[in-house]
Structure 1
Amino acid sequence: MPANKVKVITVFNFPYGFNDLVSLDLNSSKFEKIVIDLSRMDFIYPSSVIVLAAYTISMATKDITVEVYYPRPNEVKEYLVEIGFRQFCMNNLDTNFNISNYNSTNSLIPIVRLEKERLHEYIQFIKKEINNYSTGKDLSAIEICISEIINNIYDHSNGRAFCFAQYYKKKSEFVFSAYDFGIGIINQVKNFLKDPTPKEPIEYLKWAMTLGNTSHSTQHNAGKGLDNIVSQLNSNNSELTIYANNTRYTSKENTHKFSNNPINHFEGTLIEIKISIDNLPNLELEHIEFDF
């Protein structure tokens, strides 16, 4: 293959390390092969996994050969093999496919491509899995947040939504990321409001974060989804980050910050929560079952 038909893109930790990948115009790309170089990545988070999967699948569906390159065996390669990353990407080109045989001892919830009709089943699966790590903790905040995130994703998704989660045992931290490869919250709100004088992108995200505001909501959240997530996380000093088009929102320890997205030309919306299991309240005694 001629060298001018091959593009090498170096990717490292999200968000800053994804600029070159996200900035690539796949619709007008003349490259026949794109090599994603992970040589600078020494650790991979759920947000990196789902964005990498979404773009790998998107490139492959445009008849671009994709090679994920590792200079040598390392923990990132072993991790991606363990979670079935290659299998997931290769089988999602023409139809939705999710990993069913999943034997990872590290990951809590496998990478999935959401199907709205299986939303209830997916949430029940999540609830079952996170109970393995409950250790007497009340996990209702996790259940509520994931449910709200998934419903919010479907409000703005065009059918290409990805989810992945990880439980870090040493830190007792649960991280859940969901990525909507659709038009994103900013464009969705902008199209809904139809302002004669367009606002700054951050103002549209603030509008979406305001209780009661919704551009297209299911009966499940009716405009309360994002606000509900913030309320749940603030109650136990956990963290929420939203990347929406060219804006970013972070909420941690009751501190809220709107800023520009450090990734240029970011498509869609990525929502990530980080919850310290140790900060969750204990289950009340009547909710704990004994088998003796």
Structure 2
Amino acid sequence: MLIMANNFFKPVGSKIFIINFYTFSKIENLIVWVNRSRYKNLDKIKYPAKAVIIDFSKCKPNIKPYHITPLACIIHEYQSKGYVIKLKNIPNNIECYLSSFNFQQFTENGSMIDIPVSSDCKILPLWLIKRNTYNLYPNRAKEYFENNHFDGLSLWPLSISLAELMNNIFDHSDSPIPGYTFTQYNATQDSIITCVCDFGVGIPVKVNNYLQTNNRGKLTNTGALLKAFEMNFSTKSQPHNKGYGLDNIISNIKLLNSKALIISNNVVYRIFPDNIEYTSELTVNFPGSLFVIWLNVNNLSVKEEEFADEAPL
């Protein structure tokens, strides 16, 4: 698989680094691609130009949020170092999709856009997870999809799941760059897909560092990831999430008979409908955490009426 991954980066005559963008279906290939695309692994002697080209010529049209968010983190790393990002060879159908959430604008301006907008009511576009705006996104996502698609139904599970994932970025990931989130409604599959990606230390590493600091035994990477799911467990409780944790997310997924994928370091965790859980360890290491949640909209609850501030006369 690593030999196959070398084909993603063919030598070019230009001094500009070219990243071929793929819609990977295998997790290992996605991780290898992320690691080899990052600024920290760039051969700056071979590619001295302060520019990067993202080439879409080999990209299939089935782009998902979990393809977009790692790409956004990669682009952010380069932009933070003064690199110019150029898109190349974008097929028409993919260009239409990217245009629906102003991806071209993102590649030009990046983190300068605090509250991005979308021309597609099924998409809440890339959102940079920053201290001054991250608390806006969970409620914005909830209201956006409730108003556009689910009038009378509650997307509270989406809101609190996103809030916890964003808390994870600031309180636990130790990421050198902000993370990104992206949410999309898939009417064909009756699901809302939301994804959060960061390039931090990873949950297993963070949990084991915490345990060792507190004179507790080190766990396997899988054991450390599962430890993070325990109720009330936190490596750094803050006022905004004290008493809560990743257990919140898993509980919501089970409640809605939905599914999730978590990749952190070399551990993959999956939960399927009917509460079937599965973990595995890979031979490659994701540089941080990638969360993907598919919420089954068929199981949304009816929104409860809010009480008025004063009783009617």
Instruction: Quickly name the TM-score band, shorter chain normalised.
Output: 0.7 to 0.9
Q: Which residue of 1 aligns with 2:34?
A: 22
Distance 1:16 1:135 in 2: 39
Q: Which amino acid in structure 2 is aligned with residue 115 of structure 1?
A: K
1:170 pairs with one of 181, 188, 191: 188
C-alpha contact 2:257 2:299 (8 A) present in aligned 1: yes
C-alpha contact 2:203 2:225 (8 A) present in aligned 1: yes
Q: Which residue of 2 aligns with 1:257?
A: 278
C-alpha contact 1:185 1:269 (8 A) present in aligned 2: yes
Q: Which amino acid in structure 2 is aligned with residue 281 of structure 1?
A: S
Counterparts of 1:110-129 in structure 2, within 5 Å, are 110-129=125-144
Distance 2:216 2:306 in 1: 53
Residue segments in structure 1 that go unaligned for 5+ positions in a row: none
TM-score by length of 1: 0.84
Counterparts of 1:1-292 in structure 2, within 5 Å, are 2-3=13-14, 6-13=17-24, 15-24=27-36, 26-30=39-43, 31-32=47-48, 34-38=52-56, 39-62=58-81, 66-70=85-89, 73-92=91-110, 96-107=112-123, 109-132=124-147, 133-157=149-173, 158=175, 159-194=177-212, 198-222=218-242, 224-252=244-272, 253-261=274-282, 264-283=284-303, 286=305
Shift in CA distance, 89/192, structure 1 to aligned 2, threshold 3 Å: farther
Distance 2:303 2:83 in 1: 51
Cα drift, residue 229 of structure 1: 1.0
Cα drift, residue 105 of structure 1: 3.8
C-alpha contact 2:117 2:125 (8 A) present in aligned 1: no
TM-score by length of 2: 0.79
C-alpha contact 1:243 1:261 (8 A) present in aligned 2: no
C-alpha contact 1:137 1:277 (8 A) present in aligned 2: no
Shift in CA distance, 99/141, structure 1 to aligned 2, threshold 3 Å: closer
Q: Which amino acid in structure 2 is aligned with residue 141 of structure 1?
A: P
Q: Which amino acid in structure 1 is aligned with residue 295 of structure 2?
A: I
C-alpha contact 1:43 1:75 (8 A) present in aligned 2: no
Moved more, 229-238 or 184-193: 184-193
Distance 1:51 1:254 in 2: 27
Q: Deviations over 1:184-210 (max 9, x none)?
A: 212211221227875421121111112
Q: Deviations over 1:103-143 (max 9, x none)?
A: 22431x12110122323332332232021222432322222
When the two chains are superposed, the root-mean-square deviation of aligned CA atoms in Å is: 2.9
Shift in CA distance, 187/96, structure 1 to aligned 2, threshold 3 Å: farther
Distance 1:62 1:21 in 2: 20
C-alpha contact 2:85 2:108 (8 A) present in aligned 1: no
C-alpha contact 1:239 1:274 (8 A) present in aligned 2: yes
Residue segments in structure 2 that go unaligned for 5+ positions in a row: 1-11, 309-313
Q: Which amino acid in structure 2 is aligned with residue 212 of structure 1?
A: N
Shift in CA distance, 110/5, structure 1 to aligned 2, threshold 3 Å: closer
Q: Which amino acid in structure 1 is aligned with residue 34 of structure 2?
A: V
Higher relative contact order by CA 8 Å / sep ≥ 6: 1 or 2?
A: 1
